[in-house]
Amino acid sequence: MMDFQFEIVTRSIPALWAGIVVTVKIGFLSFCAASLIGFCVGVLRSKSRWLSLLFAPYVEIFRGTPLLIQLFFIYYGLPTINITLSSFQAAIIGLGLNGGAYISEVVRGALQSINSGQKEAAYALGLNWCQTLTHVIMPQALAVSIPPLMNIFSSLLKETSLVSVLAITELTRVGQLIYTRSFRAFEIYLVIGFLYFIMTFTVAKISYYLERRYAIPDRL
């Protein structure tokens, strides 16, 4: 008969909480970086064919290679060319660049989903490209983008588990350290998985609220 020892987990609550804080911090900062990169790349790629071709290699490389390999390259490979980053910086940059590639496609698709007649009407009213993008196109595109953007945020939260290979003591790393002391994999990883679920479920509920709050009336 199995002997469950969840007191091992209860004794580790302070360490688990510290791991959650680091996980959320990395997830939030990397999502901010990814959003900035993705927004810029998505807007530029939607503006002209040549800009789209220019940034296409970045998007395809970061979407077509494993995130773990990207983290290894940034942290262990870049020092070869005298670019040395801390493990935390490498984690933010790696997750940010990876997430930015996906967000850029979300932004580009959202911009292209807006009826071109609205752009033509804005130009007819005397608005330039920046004014049209800011006041007409982008508010509608952001409303369309909320669900996939929040999904990417959830994915980044879960993918922070990979930065444990960079010796960052986030939630997964904390679980590994507890396991090395207790050898109780079932209880520890069950709780770790539950904590990740709570975080992503919270993001899903926030996404639902934002989607309803900023929904475009004719899309309801």
Residue 4 forms part of a structural domain = no
Tell me the pLDDT tens digit for each residue of 91-133: 999 999 999 999 999 999 888 887 778 877 888 878 887 888 8
Residue from 100, 102, 78, 80 nearest 90 by CA: 78
Q: Which two tokens stand for residue 127?
A: 């608005």
Residue 214 forms part of a structural domain = yes
What pLDDT does 1 receive? 41
Neighbour count for residue 195 (Cβ, 10 Å): 18
Residue 14 forms part of a structural domain = no
**Total domains in the fold of the chain:** 1
Tell me the pLDDT tens digit for each residue of 180-194: 988 888 889 999 999
- Sequence-ordered list of residues with C-beta below 8 angstroms from that of 130, at least 6 positions apart, any chain: none
Could you give the CA distance from residue 97 to residue 36 in angstroms, rounded to a whole number? 10
Residue 11 forms part of a structural domain = no
Residue 101 forms part of a structural domain = yes
- Here the CATH number for the domain that contains residue 90 is 1.10.3720.10
Q: C-alpha angle with apex 107: 110 to 209, nearest 5 degrees?
A: 75
- Domain containing 86 equals 19-219
Residue 29 forms part of a structural domain = yes
Residue 7 forms part of a structural domain = no
Mean pLDDT of 144-164: 92
Tell me the pLDDT tens digit for each residue of 157-176: 999 999 998 989 899 999 99
Residue 108 forms part of a structural domain = yes
Could you give the CA distance from residue 75 to residue 30 in angstroms, rounded to a whole number? 16
pTM: 0.89
Q: Is the dihedral of CA 150, 152, 153, 157 positive or negative?
A: positive
Place of tokens 């850029």: 104
3-state secondary structure string across 6-33: CHHHHHCHHHHHHHHHHHHHHHHHHHHH
